[in-house]
Structure 1
Amino acid sequence: MSKIGSLGARLHRGEVGYDFVKNRKIWYGISILITITAILGLAVRGLNMGIEFQGGAVFTTPKHMTTSVSQAETYAEEASGHDAIVQKLGDGSLRIQIAGIDTGKSDEIKDALSKDLKVNPEQLNADLVGPSWGKQIANKAWEGLAIFMVLVVIYLAIAFEWRMALAALVALIHDITITTGIYALVGFEVTPGTVIGLLTILGYSLYDTVVVFDSLKEQTKDITKQTRWTYSDIANQSINGTLMRSINTTVVALLPVAGLLFIGGGVLGAGMLNRHLAVAVRRPRGRCVLLDLHRHAARRRPQGARAADEGPAQARPGQAGAGRRAGRARGAGRRRVLRRGARGRRPRGRRPARAGRLPQPGPWPALREAPV
């Protein structure tokens, strides 16, 4: 553990670090591959919307039922003519969910289920959701998500700059796309709790992004006044400086969520899937999404400030020859001025004396003898 703490301190001081800017294309490639897979999952399988969004009925049986889940699913599908989802709760009761049915037929389905399950119809609880109410809930969920993202972009544009706000928006869309795609591939039901989980994902995603952006803004405040560090170097330092803290918070957050996901089971496990994805998915993206910002910043800075993005002042290819040619031209111009006198060219014989120097003998190399 002491080695891990020492590594974190060295990362924060900039003594060691991972070159995110240099290797950003690898992470972008992995992210694009996962995103394409998620989009294909959404296009092929689609989301398994719960009855809260498409309407239907939920029947709850008494406690300590001896009927198996598969047998209850068969009874429900035969009684309703629709696909049914049956879950066994902790007290032994069964939760039978049938989506897309007409609420007017709920009494018939209830009677058939009570006969097949051999329970009293009065003990079989039925909760009905109309299709119009489900559509209203879905619209409200999308409106809340859109308003949240707009407010986040406005805040980041004011606190930092619009380029960072745009990068954060792309990161949020990336995280939501991957999470919903995994939901489609796994086949978990989408409920209002899933929407709450998506908002949680946005919170997790923004936390890491804002931390990195704040560090980047603080360290690039006076970048135009020096040429020692490039914008890429400072971006790497900002990401590496917060890397260990992000790893620690990720591990601490994943432990309880993973316990509920793998041990809780049922509705509890399904509800924890999006929380687990929220913590796990955001890390690689949060470290790589802003790695191209130095190019945008270099474009908007004046020419003198762009030198800070190109590194320390040094002779680039082609500059050395140009410098020598310019020096020879300046020297030739000075010699021409010295050769001219009040009546034309100076006579051959001695060089003109400069202030603080004695005349030196010798002819001018390129000076012809003036006529007498």
Structure 2
Amino acid sequence: MFIKLKTNINFMKYRRLALLGSALLVLLSLVLLITRGLNFGIDFTGGMLLQLEFDSPVSVAEVRGSLDKIGFGGSVIQAYSEKGVLIRLKTDQESDQKKIVNSLRESLGKNVKVLRTEVVGPVAGSQLRRSAILATSLALLAMLAYITFRFQFRFAVGGVVALVHDVIITLGIFSITYHEVSMPFIAGMLTLVGYSINDTIVVFDRVRENFKNLKQWGMVDLFNNSINQVLSRTINTSLTTLFPVITLFLWGGEVISDFSMALLIGIIVGTYSSIYIAGAMVVEWYLRSPHEAGKLQKR
């Protein structure tokens, strides 16, 4: 642990303001998703597959640089030999194919032969999307059951709502920036869900350890003290994860930019939601209905 803090920050003082702000951000994100939508990548929309053969060795970076100049830098490019590449394009127009081939010839100074052209369907079809929605729903229900068993139902609801909050806001940011939603993005979203729930569980676990002081501290101070006690751990974990992700986002290239951007947003939003969504919801629920507070202490 390279940062060790002893703090006494009154996090819960701003819980209602934070809940209101988060509710507005979630609402705005939902409006963006309905009106603007998402920029689905080739994995979801399909497109054209080109198999190209050059007269001399060529790298994927060279091909991507050439395509980027004409607006096709986000294409999926795969080398299958020193001289051959497969390019998956988010288009099925023959005119775009000619434009790409001409650009490669001019910018790379190499002769290029089109070996194969075919229109391809989306990798992530409707069946896969339905399966993903089902798997996500089952995962959320499993988390709800686990946190209920380990802590209490109120804690479980707070944790799951925090996860949904993180996902919706991340989708909203991708909608407003029109960053491409591809399979690497899905991997990033699944990673951020695991990261977020882990941070929430750490806070809840410290609350459970301190629950014996509930009568002395009250629910608000119970959460404040617990969060302050794990704050060093939270900062250290966030920073050690954040620095590599920033490096990937800035210098990792376009191939993993969607993945790294999803993680970058998720780390920031997930750390915030562990305190001001999951924790704040539990505090508000207990203050309005404190008669079940003793159940957590008995576990």
TM-score tier (shorter): 0.7 to 0.9
Per-residue CA deviation, residues 160-209 of structure 1 (Å, 9 max, x unaligned), is 11111111111011000011111111212211221111111111110111
Choose the corresponding residue for 2:35, options 44, 47, 52: 44
Give the number of the structure with larger relative contact order, counting CA–CA contacts within 8 Å between residues 6 or more apart.
Answer: 2
The residue correspondences of 1:1-372 to structure 2 (distance < 5 A) are 5=4, 8=5, 10-11=6-7, 17-59=8-50, 61=52, 62=54, 63=58, 64-65=62-63, 68-69=66-67, 72-73=70-71, 85-86=74-75, 95=87, 97-99=89-91, 101=92, 114=101, 117-118=104-105, 119-122=112-115, 129-131=120-122, 134-221=125-212, 223=214, 227-289=215-277, 290-297=279-286, 299-301=289-291
Fraction of identical pairs, as percent: 27
Q: 2 CA distance for matches of 1:31 and 1:121?
A: 51
Q: 1 CA distance for matches of 2:197 and 2:24?
A: 22
Call closer, same or farther: CA 1:215–1:116 in 2, change over 3 Å: closer
Deviation at 1:46, TM superposition (A): 0.8
Q: 2 CA distance for matches of 1:202 and 1:67?
A: 33
1:51/1:134 contact within 8 Å kept: no
Q: 1 CA distance for matches of 2:42 and 2:203?
A: 40
1:176/1:198 contact within 8 Å kept: yes
2:196/2:270 contact within 8 Å kept: yes
1:39/1:181 contact within 8 Å kept: yes
Call closer, same or farther: CA 1:294–1:96 in 2, change over 3 Å: closer
Q: 1 CA distance for matches of 2:192 and 2:40?
A: 19
Q: Count the aligned residue pairs.
A: 276
Structure with greater helix percent: 2
Tell me the secondary structure at the aligned position of residue 57 of structure 1.
Answer: strand
TM-score of the pair, normalised by structure 2: 0.78
1:38/1:177 contact within 8 Å kept: yes
Call closer, same or farther: CA 1:134–1:66 in 2, change over 3 Å: closer
Tell me the secondary structure at the aligned position of residue 59 of structure 1.
Answer: strand
Quick check: 30-39 or 59-68, which moved more?
Answer: 59-68
> Which structure is larger by alpha-carbon Rg, 1 or 2?
1
Tell me the secondary structure at the aligned position of residue 18 of structure 1.
Answer: coil
1:54/1:135 contact within 8 Å kept: no
Deviation at 1:55, TM superposition (A): 2.5
Q: 2 CA distance for matches of 1:58 and 1:258?
A: 32
2:162/2:274 contact within 8 Å kept: yes
TM-score of the pair, normalised by structure 1: 0.64
Structure 1: gaps (5+ residues) = 12-16, 77-83, 306-372
Call closer, same or farther: CA 1:206–1:66 in 2, change over 3 Å: closer
